[in-house]
Each structure stands twice: as C-alpha cells, then as structure tokens.
Chain A
C-alpha cells in the first residue's frame, strides 16, 4: 500500500496545475520494486471507476447504478462513475484514491483496452502503484454501443463484466518488466528496397547494422524494373540513391551471397551464424567480357526471368552493386577457360563458402517476394512462346534487357497486346489450380494493376502504334498518383474488357497462317457478357506476388506466417511491423504485397521499432511471460515438451534439504507468453503472469452471480 507522503503531495500540486503528469522512470522502478517486496499479506483495496464516456456509455448503461452495485462487492473501497475517466481529471481521481484511500488495485470500465489501457496503467503508476495492479473492462464497444435497445440488460451486463474485472483484480500481483542488456547492433535480412531503407534509418541513429543479402547483388526486385510508378522514374536511379547512402554509411556492414544458417537467443542478444558463398572473382578483374565469351556454360538468366541465357561467370547488369562478377557455383564445371583471360589470379575456382558468427540485438526480416510463376499451360504460359509475364515484359522494355528495349517477341515485332490482370492473385478455390500447399492465392497483390497500366503507358510512349487490350476483374489503382495511369490508359485508347474470376479468359495458339499468333477469348462484362475474341501478338500475364520461400529462416526465427504465407505481424493495425517474437520485426513485401513507397515506409517503420528497442542498450519486456510456481512444480517436463519456443523453458536439477529434484525454469527473454505450457501442466504450476488461470476461474465464477440493479434503484 502506498501512503500519501510529502513528495506525493508536491506532485499533487503540480498535477492540479493542468501540466502533464511526468513520472521519472527511476521513481517508477522504485515504486515497482517496493510494491513487489510488499506484496503478500496486504489488504486488497480495490478502486472501481465506471466511465460515462461523455454519454457514449451512460446514455445506455446506468453507470451510476453500476458504480453503486460494485460498491457492495468485497474489497471494493471506492466505486465511482465519472464523465471521462481518460481525461486529466479522471486520471487524477484514480491517483488521489490511491494516495488518500490507499487503494491498491484499480478497475476501470470504459472503452476498448486498445484505446486507453496504457493511459490508465500510467495513471496508476503516477499514483505510486505498480502499473500491473490494474484491470481494464470494455463496456463501450462490448456493451453500450451494441445494446442501445436494451438499457436494462446492458446495465446488468456492465455490472457482470465489472465484477469479473474486480474478481481478476483481487488476484493481480505486481509485475516487473523484464530488463535485459541489448547489443546496439541490428541485423537486416534482405538487401531489397525495404531492407536498405531499414538499414539506413537504423544506422542514422548511430546503431550498427549488418545487411545480409542472399544474392550477390543489392537492390532486390526493383533493379529488374525499367520505369517505376508513380513518378515514372528510372528504377535503378531510385535504387542507386538509397544504395549510395548505404555504402557511404560507416555503421553499415554488407554481406552479399550470404544466408543465415542458425539463429539462437532473444531480443537484445541474438546469436546468428552466417554462411557466405564466395564470389570467385576479384573486384579488379579486367577481363570479364572475354571470360564471359569463353565460358562454355549457358543457363537461363534469372535476372531476365529466363528470356535470355547467361554464362557461369556473370553479373546481372552494368552498374550493379557490388560491381564485380561472380561465379555461379551450381553450374560452373571448373573447366578453367576463364582463368586464361584477364589479370592472373583474379579468378579462384577453388574458393569455398565461409561461415562466421555475429551477435545482434534485433532482426529485421526483409526477404521480399517472388513473382507468381504460372503453371505450364495456365493462359498458355510455357506452351505458347508469345505468352509472357509482366516481369518479363519489364525486362523486354528495359534498355539492357534481352531485346535492348525493343518490343518484340521471338524476333517478331508486336502490334497487338493483351494484358491479363489477376494472374496468381484473387484466385478462387475450385476455379484455379492450388499451389503445392493446397491453397490458392485468394489475396490481391495490389501492385500489379498500376504496374500493368504503367507498362501500358511506357508502350504507348515508345511504341505509339501498339494496340493494348486490358482484361481485368477490377482496376485497383488505389495509391496516390496511381489513378492517373488508369486515366492515361483510357485516354490512350487502351481497350478495357472485364472478366469474372469464375470465367477466366481463354488463351489459345492461332491456327497456322493467321496474322496474329495468339487468340484470346473473353466473356466481357462491360458488354453484358458478350463473348469477345482478340487476336494478338503478345499476351502479358500480370502475375501477383508470393513471399520469397524462406521456410528455413521461419524455422530458425520462429516467426509466424499467415494463411497467405506472408509473414505475420502481431496486429495489422496497432503493431503492424512487430512479430510475436520480441526483437524480430518485418519490413517490405515479405509481409504482403507492397509498392516501393510502401516497402520504404515499412522499412523505416521497422527501423524505428529497432531503434526504440536498442538505443539505450537496455530492453524492457512486457512481463506477460510464463512463471513457475515452485511449490507446485513437480518437474513433469510437459511444459518443456510442448513449448513451441526454443530455449524458453527448461528443466533444471535442484537440491534442497538434501533432496534432489527437477523443476521447470523459464527464460523470460525467450518466452513470448503463448500459453501452451499453462494448459499442459498437470499440476497447474505454471501461468502467464497477468493472465493466470486462477484469474479466469474467478472471472467466470463472477458471472454466476445474480444481478438486478434496476430493481434496487
């Protein structure tokens, strides 16, 4: 219990003067320590506060009666209703009651905990009480706003919910956030635009950053595009601005050709093992053109999405970063032809991968996406050479692409193009062929509509005689400046045809001798379902995005995937870049389809989370983790067996009074509070702090009580 003292009175005076309440962290910590030491054996004194929310609650729920009813419950010392509990004066009420009436548990019934739980925890803290001796009860979204037609029942419901809150509060214990030392060093996995932006922002806050990029070059997918919406800039110019800054920042270390092979640890201290593939070619090698000429190996060039071939010694494009060439170890036969050209000793075909360790405080996962790869025969893909994907078209339009920017396919010029949207996106079960995991891609890939219309714009600018037929389900040009591409396409005479997912367009090879090699048939819903046949020279499939397959990484980092296979954040709105694993955050298209702009701000948001975590070299974790009751634990080991987190819980051998026994021990930094251990313990010896089974039992029991407030009134 906290008695009002001189110091508190002084604070009172200050707080009455409309100034914001400031509590020093040290003061807060002292209060927490004291509270934990004092806990046990104290009288429980509960303060109950029912918020009227300016009528939002009290227009339906009789908050005065709820407060009056709650007064009757054991341990409730004070029970009030108030117009706005979240206001300064509302918070002041709580603080005053803590100090003057000695209340040591607080229950507030108000809006959703997502809005004001933190506000009230802070108010409780500033009253000198442990912030976790607080229970929040939602009686607005969960009651008054949904029971406006039943005020009596809504009032009784509020009483029940508040009573359950009081039942929980009786069993609350003071908690202390876990504090751990943090390495002021972050790891960014993936050197695409999202990873680069994240790294740059973290480094600017004077923290060390290591970028690990699986391929031998930086930039990710953006390096493969020609002109990017919504600014019509050269993609590489945009990318290079970021890469130059990254290269110039002394806080950033880059490892290309590198992947994680092991990860252990927790926020503040992740121990990471990396494996780097050798480049095989030194940066100053002067005979690259010649070496490429003499290399006898030819494989499809992944940079051009298989539209051209490359050699086993290669670099994706002039101006790539790093600028040197590399050996493709998978395909190199080590014939030694390349060793005969250029500066001696520049190529080493005997180089082997090297492994090394780093320790970091936080990890940003920015592993990006792969374009959807249509199945063989899907819209004729892989069977009709004139059917390509949008990424392939991007390469064709690029000055350094397989046709050097000429719009041609198989050496033939192109005059009529059909572009089909939603290939590999917004798929329907039963209509589309599922992926190997049995699921279809039912999500929208968001970027492809504008990317398709942007490509159409480029084509019209450079090849004005081309006719474009755009086959879409819905046009989703949602971002700032995106709609202009749609307007532009309409003005430029693009013919729009609308299909539905259940009646996908049919693409067939035209009979021999026809002028146009491909025929596209579509039931067009802009002309009331009229069957339209479009003879074309090229079909472009606007393929969607799928996350880069990173199963090994997911296994190592224990992050979750959504149903759509993209990595999953804790909460889509409120914690959009954090994963459930403290210290691991997400950036860019590894999390879902995004434009460059969105991937950039996702990278910067991830960075701000990392900075907040590591900047002081000390991390404070929410205390909602597993806790063992040593009296009850008999060392059954069930918790260890079922725990999905690595190193979160273990059995240790103890000796007490000459007796040797095993007991579970939690490593709070590794525990994410998932609760699996709680339900499997045969002795009820483990709980998630702040969310115990006893508390839930008590809450459920509270619901059994008969309540009839209005008859009493």
Chain B
C-alpha cells in the first residue's frame, strides 16, 4: 500500500456530470467523507461531448486514471448515456492499441446521493494505481487516423 504522499503523485481525473457524479461528490463532501487527495473533479454538462481521443490525450498528458461519473440510465439527456458508453468503448480499443491498461478508464453510474459508490470508485481507482503505478510518459503518439485535433 502506498503512502498518501506517493498517491498524490498519481492523478485521478473524475469527469462528473452535473446531474449525476458531481452531486455524488458534493454529497460525499457534505458528509465530510475523507478520500485520497489525488482526485481532480471536473464538472461536465454531459460526458457525451468527449470523443475517444480526448481520454487518450488526457492520459498521455497528465492523469493516470479517469472515471467518468454520469447518471447512467437516469441521464436526463436522451441518448447521451448510451453515446458516452459507445465513445468509451472506442477509447478502450485505442488504449489496447497503445498498450495502455484499459482499467485506467472507467465509466460509472453515480446518482446524486451515491456517496458510497462514489467513494468505492475512488478507492478502487487508487487500489489499481497502487498496483499498476502512474502512466509512464511519453505514451506512444496518437496516429493520424485517430487524431481529430485540427
């Protein structure tokens, strides 16, 4: 088990939807539930905006694990949840090609009061990072075909 100091070296990015994960995180905060301080939470309106290469870029650049916390089948935007899942499975393919551990990217349905599931996701991601360590950079570059950045 790594110390908290070491844990801080590896970074977990949480992309949390305003209708799901972000509120789950808020609820954890309101309950003063301690978790490791290597978790960076960004609010997103919906996670459907992220193309697969976004996740790859984020892993290449700065973070060692990403958890997309959305509201799953309770997503208020029709079709967005299914689309997010599709984009993430495409990202898995790209990770596989690059030899990245696919467990570094997770999609998780977190409700507005899901404190325990939220904490569990964070704990599991940290356990994983204890096991596999931070990403060794630089990561093989994104191929032409996959890169959409103009």
Binding site for B on A (CB under 8 A): 112-114, 138, 140-143, 145-150, 153-154, 156-157, 160-161, 164, 558-560, 562-563, 568-573, 579-580, 624, 632, 642, 644-645, 672-676, 678-684, 687-688, 691, 693, 696-697, 699-704
Contact = CB atoms under 8 A, between A and B. Distances in A.
Given A560-B74, A679-B52, A682-B148, 4 more contacts: A146-B33, A675-B47, A676-B83, A704-B61
Given A154-B37, A642-B83, A691 B76 contact: no
The CB with the most chain B CB atoms within 10 A, among A644, A673, A675, A678, is that of A675
Which bracket fits the contact residues of B?
35 or more
**Which 7 pairs across A and B sit closest by C-beta, in order of nearness?**
A141-B29, A644-B79, A675-B49, A704-B62, A674-B77, A153-B37, A580-B76
B25 A142 contact: yes
B46 A140 contact: no
A699 B35 contact: no
A50 to B, nearest CB: 17
B8 interface: yes
B138 to A, nearest CB: 12
B48 to A, nearest CB: 4
A562 B79 contact: no
Given A145-B32, A153-B4, A696-B50, A114 B79 contact: no
B78 A580 contact: yes
Contacts of A141: 25-26, 28-30
20 contacts: A114-B23, A143-B37, A146-B32, A146-B35, A148-B34, A150-B4, A153-B37, A157-B38, A560-B78, A580-B78, A642-B83, A675-B49, A678-B51, A688-B49, A691-B45, A693-B49, A693-B54, A697-B54, A700-B61, A703-B40
Nearest to B77: A674
B16 to A, nearest CB: 9
Contacts of A679: 48-52, 54, 83, 87
Contact of A570 (B11, B19, B35, B43): B19
Given A146-B32, A693-B54, A697-B57, A674 B79 contact: yes
Contacts of A146: 28-29, 32-35
Contacts of B39: 157
A624 B87 CA distance: 21
Contact of B54 (A149, A696, A702): A696
Contacts of B126: none
Nearest to B74: A562
Contacts of B47: 675
Contacts of A703: 11, 13, 40, 61-63
A142 B77 contact: no
Contacts of A142: 25-26, 29, 41
A572 B112 contact: yes
Given A571-B19, A572-B112, A678-B48, A700 B57 contact: yes
Given A156-B8, A700-B63, A675 B80 contact: yes
Contacts of B28: 141, 146
Nearest to A700: B58
A455 to B, nearest CB: 33
A569 B87 CA distance: 25
A150 B87 CA distance: 35
A228 to B, nearest CB: 31
A668 to B, nearest CB: 15
Nearest to A642: B83
B150 interface: yes
B44 interface: yes
